[in-house]
Structure 1
Amino acid sequence: MDFIREFTTAMACVILSVSSLHAAYRLFKDHRASSVAFLLIGFSSVLSVFSPSNQTIKSLQNDLEWAGESLGPALITFDFLWLSEDHITARILLIGSAFFIMLSDWLSSDGLVIMSRCLAFSTLSCSLTVCAFAENAAGAVGSVALSLPLLVSPRTRSGSLGPLVMPTEGLLCWILKVIMALGCWTTGKALNKYLYDLKGWD
């Protein structure tokens, strides 16, 4: 049973890493912030495949995964806001996300979970607003998919999951990774479509 759980988790990590790294490659030319976000998600997923036994590497992998889940959606939303020419909100979101990452060491576990959800709601609301006005359904779907880990089971820096996760932690982790992979694919298409539409309006 443990082997099946580890295998499915590893496969979910492979799917997520392929999807996110492919999106990072495709978006690098026109959407640098999103490309960095997908690289972060992709590299953390690649490390997760190997399940390192070394405690230092495992801690680094958990922190990288946490940073990807926290910063990734914010960087992608930054691109959506920037394309919509709402540069002030984009900068506020980026600065707020950076401060959250820097100050996370001083927050308690409960405080970190609460702040993670606040960041997720802020990011998601901005992204959904832009996508609604742009009539970009793929962007809305991708934004929800990428924000789910922070909303459903936010991590603490130690790698443990937030209070919504119970005995089905392994299954939930697998499902969230597959949903995030779908989110990477749809968001990549949505950003390119949005840029194409904007060029068409010019």
Structure 2
Amino acid sequence: MVSKSRSEWSTILSHLVLAAVSLHAAVSSVQSSRGAAAGFLLQTFAAITMLAPGLSTHEDCLAGAWVATVIGLPLLAFDFHWVNGDRSSANLLLGGGMVLAVAGDHLGPEGCSVAGQAVLLVVAVTILIVAVFTTNTYGMWGGAMLGVAGLLSRLEVDRLLLQPKEDVCRWALAAGSWAYCRALHTQRLQWE
């Protein structure tokens, strides 16, 4: 049996936690928010496929992660905006994500990286704004953690907190997804 290094285990664990949190969030939110559930499910599939041996650099796997970012994350924010009556922002986020998903082949690797980080930050900021105005504490935490994941991904370092930078970003994304799932639940309770 091949021994895995500490950073390999960290990467596997961060993918598993993100997949588990996202799957739980998808199952929890499917009755109240089908759009957010689809976004969480896309995140789950992207995290799981990155765990398959030899697939983490495969083009189809990277395309799945791209789609999970530019379509999945706007789907998460869509319902949050829609329920609060901000239908134009909801549609703009989702429409922009769809356009980016189609244009991904024309952007190149660096362009896709920047666009993905921009989508993450825009989704985080819009969730944070709505959460502040609706006093949804979980939404504030979810938006803040998604923003942290986006900002950390822009850093020009290889390691953060003794772990690979990508793993720390996945931990922040998992925490943000959990908080955002709770925010959706809280938001639904407020509107009932």
TM-score under structure 2 normalisation? 0.86
Residue 9 of structure 2 aligns to which amino acid in structure 1?
Answer: F
C-alpha distance 115-128 of structure 1, shift in aligned 2 (>3 A): same
Q: Identify which range, 73-82 or 112-121, moves more after superposition.
A: 112-121
Q: Tell me which residue corresponds to 1:16.
A: 18
Q: Take 1:148 and 1:40, find their aligned partners in 2: how far apart are those partners? A: 20
Q: Tell me which residue corresponds to 1:158.
A: none
Q: Tell me which residue corresponds to 2:39.
A: 37
Residue 119 of structure 1 aligns to which amino acid in structure 2?
Answer: V
Q: Tell me which residue corresponds to 1:53.
A: 54
Q: Tell me which residue corresponds to 1:69.
A: 69
Q: Identify which range, 187-196 or 111-120, moves more after superposition.
A: 111-120
User: Could you tell me how far 1:147 is from its partner in structure 2?
Assistant: 4.2
Residue 75 of structure 2 aligns to which amino acid in structure 1?
Answer: L
Asked if 2 retains the 8 angstrom alpha-carbon contact of 1:9 and 1:174, the reply is yes
Q: Take 1:76 and 1:180, find their aligned partners in 2: how far apart are those partners? A: 12
User: Could you tell me how far 1:7 is from its partner in structure 2?
Assistant: 1.1
How many residues matched?
188
Q: Deviations over 1:40-92 (max 9, x none)?
A: 11111112223x2258x822222212322333321111111001011122111
Which one of 2, 5, 12 corresponds to residue 3 of structure 1?
5
User: Could you tell me how far 1:11 is from its partner in structure 2?
Assistant: 1.0
C-alpha distance 139-112 of structure 1, shift in aligned 2 (>3 A): same
Which one of 178, 196, 199 corresponds to residue 189 of structure 2?
196
Q: 2:176 aligned with 1:174, yes or no?
A: no
Q: Identify which range, 2-11 or 28-37, moves more after superposition.
A: 2-11
Q: Deviations over 1:114-152 (max 9, x none)?
A: 433433333223211210111012112112323444443
User: Could you tell me how far 1:8 is from its partner in structure 2?
Assistant: 1.3
TM-score under structure 1 normalisation? 0.82
Q: Take 2:66 and 2:156, find their aligned partners in 1: how far apart are those partners? A: 16
Q: 2:119 aligned with 1:119, yes or no?
A: yes
Q: Tell me which residue corresponds to 1:133.
A: 133
Q: Which structure carries more relative contact order (alpha carbon 8 Å, separation 6+)?
A: 1
RMSD: 2.3
Q: Take 2:115 and 2:186, find their aligned partners in 1: how far apart are those partners? A: 32
Residue 24 of structure 1 aligns to which amino acid in structure 2?
Answer: A
Asked if 1 retains the 8 angstrom alpha-carbon contact of 2:42 and 2:72, the reply is yes
Q: Which structure 2 segments of 5+ residues have no match?
A: none
C-alpha distance 184-45 of structure 1, shift in aligned 2 (>3 A): same
SS in 1 for 2:158: coil
C-alpha distance 119-47 of structure 1, shift in aligned 2 (>3 A): closer
Q: Tell me which residue corresponds to 2:179.
A: 186
Asked if 2 retains the 8 angstrom alpha-carbon contact of 1:73 and 1:143, the reply is no
C-alpha distance 167-118 of structure 1, shift in aligned 2 (>3 A): closer
C-alpha distance 115-7 of structure 1, shift in aligned 2 (>3 A): closer
Asked if 1 retains the 8 angstrom alpha-carbon contact of 2:127 and 2:143, the reply is yes
Asked if 2 retains the 8 angstrom alpha-carbon contact of 1:20 and 1:39, the reply is yes
Asked if 2 retains the 8 angstrom alpha-carbon contact of 1:120 and 1:147, the reply is yes
Q: Deviations over 1:156-185 (max 9, x none)?
A: xxxxxx6x3433286111111112111121
Equivalent pairs: percent with the same residue?
A: 23
